[in-house]
A and B are shown apart, each in its own frame.
Chain A
Amino acid sequence: MAANTLGSVMVVGGGIAGIQTALDLADSGYYVYLVEKSAAIGGVMAQLDKTFPTNDCAM
């Protein structure tokens, strides 16, 4: 552990997991860098039509 701790976090990958992580951390007082390889975040979940078992629209 570094002596001088930074209050920022990098999240690598902007799918649903990365987005949720980033939101939680940002809402808890941390500065978040979200790094995404493609041109937009959303990941595979954005490609899904609906999700089980509630048939919610994934978008």
Chain B
Amino acid sequence: MEAVEVKKIKSEIKERLSKFDFSLCYACGTCASGCPIPGTPGMEGWDPRTALRMITLGMIDEVVESDFPWVCTGCGRCGHGCPMGIDLVPIWGLLKSLRDRDKVPGTLHKGVMAVLETGNNLSIPKDDYLMTLADVGNELAEEELPGFYVPVDKKEAEVMFFPNSKEVFGDFEDMKWWWKIFYAARENWTVPSENWEAVDWGLFTGNAQATTVLARRKIQLMNDLHVGRMIMPDCGGGSYGCRTGMKNCALENPDEKTNYLYLYEYLKELLESGRIKVDPSVNEGKTFTWHDSCKHGRELERHFGRAFYDEPRWILEQCVGKENFVELTPNRSNNFCCGAGGGNWPMPFEKQSAAHGRFKVEQIKRSGANVVVVGCSNCRDQIMKRLPKYYPGECNYEVKYIWQLVAESLVFEPMEGEELAKAEAAGAAQWEALGVDLEAGY
């Protein structure tokens, strides 16, 4: 076997690496033992310890050229267990950033370019976007929520909501859950007409610059429309990316900041204040569990000093009752990643991503739950779609968003009389002003 000659790391990379204190590594292998990659097909011989060892010995290029940083879901269990407390995930992020952009796997980089150019990852034109909001909203108003419409660019709104392009593109039904909640709470809310994308793929490609730009746009929108708070939906590319970008913005310019609200805080606030009410009896007969996502738990805690473990459990308890809730083990800060993190839902490493999820499948099975409640679209799609495909017969569960569960359990009063008339008028006026012809359809 060819002998390794220890290479000097380029000073610029060394400088960037130096803030991670990775040389403290004992090579004890705690990270490897907690990482889903060992045992994942196509990743033989790779684990965080090996990758870090290669960096130590100056073999940066070999790691950058490998799939390792990309197949990593960024779940952060490596750093979570590291006796030296080395924060490994950002090191993999740095290595991702060192890869030529035209060699970024799959569509991620294209998505980043698209969002920078068009305001959303999928380059959905503004007209189509508005039409979708109007149309699906209208459908909802007719079926369930008289007087409902999606307020766009509404000044002085209480909260700003950022849609996920995946839903705007085709998963229309998934947009309705939040809308129902806003409706039931009679929230004064809005969505932006431009730069509305919730999801930040810059986080997945090691593109810190893009992440910063996307966060700055959101801050800008909030300021322009004088909206008090934004809701941070989703986990990784959504809220975590945005939070990271916002941190960068604040570092560059302390004035660049805005108030934000995590979806859990928001839902809890609505429930606690009585602005919405839920009826647990609609969920009877099923056993629910909660999937702690990495970026709303462990990684958020590590980087932003706060995690959402208790809030979602409290919300679940309101919706399903304490007796119908079971825990996954391990959970909270030591939970297993679904396998889709780090951009592994859209990336072309499906087999690997599914293999990462083997721990999730096993722990759900062990818990005995029929319904897995999640707080992130990638976790949802992974657990609901990819895992059953790869583990047929082992995934006997439903998956629900936590906001879906809340929406499905809602007890609310439909608008009537004057309130309804006012809302309908306001909706009609808005769409007219925006030039959306509701009658035209597609």
A and B touch in the complex (CB under 8 A): no
Give A contacts to B, CB under 8 Å: none
